Amino acid sequence: MKVVSTSKSHGGVQGVYSHASEVCACDMTFAVFVPPQAKDGPVPVLWYLSGLTCTHANVMDKGEYRRVAAELGIVIVCPDTSPRGSDIPDEKDNWQFGCGAGFYLDATQEPYARNYRMYTYVTAELPALVAANFDVDMSRQSIFGHSMGGHGALTIALKNPERFKSCSAFAPITQPSTAGWSRPALEKYLGSDEKSWRPYDATLLIEDGCRFDAFLVDQGTADGFLQDGLRPWLLDEACKKAGIELALRMQEGYDHSYNFISTFMEDHLKWHSRHLA
């Protein structure tokens, strides 16, 4: 692991790091905020997964999480959204696919299968690296994310309920297998057999028997992607049928931007902190 940069913030340290990823077959960059409480012993970990077109830097620069994370004593880990590099297969004119749009899945179709393995990266390789290099309590982990990252957080929590104490999302893609802006990506990464898409669709995972104790979801009513891409009512319907507790909060007048995310970031951090305690 290489240190790209570190900076003191609210008594803690905001760092950016890189490493050679075996899973994604390229160099990967990620951000970690370590609160001041870490000097006294291991602290819990909260994973934040970013959305389409983002890197680790978007939430780090605009998410406004450090003050509250420092108060609560929580490490915040922010992975990148996809493999990157000049030799990584990509569609440079398509913001919904390729670099910046890994969808937190393990691709099976060529030429993407070698690099686009973000599910394994986020659930196996990066956690091992974080555990080896930071003073964290890996028995206390939670996960959240925005948009594509909200989709990733929901699906990862549903498939790993024993690992995560809590899961929340800002404006998640709730059913990517039928949404116009995510369905083409799933087909390119996973092939035309839609059965292979089900492990990466929160509503279908619930339909197939996966369970998680409770979710918190914030969604802006002025979000331009609400009707076609996000559709939180589909998650609400799936959770009601399965008996999963879902706090779906429709926030009047808010859009899809980090102005929306930063407004409710403190709520989410405090919600996770209660579960991590």
Write out pLDDT tens, residues 153-179.
Answer: 999 999 999 999 999 999 999 999 999
pLDDT-derived band at 135 (thresholds 50, 70, 90) equals very high
Q: How far is CA 240 from CA 35, 140, 144, in A?
A: 37, 27, 21
What is the rounded CA–CA span in Å between residue 242 and residue 158?
Answer: 12
Q: How confident is the model at residue 181 (pLDDT cuts 50, 70, 90)?
A: confident
Distance CA 152, CA 147 (A): 9
Torsion of CA 142, 146, 149, 152, to 10 degrees: 60
pTM above 0.95, yes or no: yes
Which domains are delineated in the chain? 2-276 (3.40.50.1820)
Residues 6+ apart with CB under 8 A from 242: 206, 207, 211
Preceding peptide of 111 cis, ω within 30°: yes
**Distance of alpha carbon 191 from the chain centroid:** 23
Q: What is the per-residue pLDDT across 225-275, written as a single tens digit (0 to 9) for each?
A: 999 999 999 999 999 999 999 999 999 999 999 999 999 999 999 999 999
Structure tokens given for 203: 């509503």
Q: What is the pLDDT of residues 69-86, one digit of tens each?
A: 999 999 999 999 999 999
Phi and psi dihedrals of 192, rounded to 5? Answer: -85, -15
Express each pLDDT in 15-35 by its tens digit: 999 999 999 999 999 999 999
Beta-strand relationship, 136-146 and 26-34: unpaired
Structure token digits, residue 29: 């960059």
Q: Are 41 and 98 in contact (CB under 8 A)?
A: no
Q: CA–CA separation, 97 vs 120, rounded Å?
A: 18
Q: What CA–CA distance (Å, rounded) separates 134 from 49?
A: 19
Q: What is the pLDDT of residue 234?
A: 98
Exposure of 166 in the CB half-sphere (CA atoms within 13 A)? 20
Tokens 């891409």: give the residue: 229
Active site residues: 147, 223, 256
Cα–Cα distance measured from residue 116 to residue 99, given in angstroms and rounded to the nearest whole number: 9
Instruction: Round the average pLDDT of the chain to a whole number and report it.
Output: 98
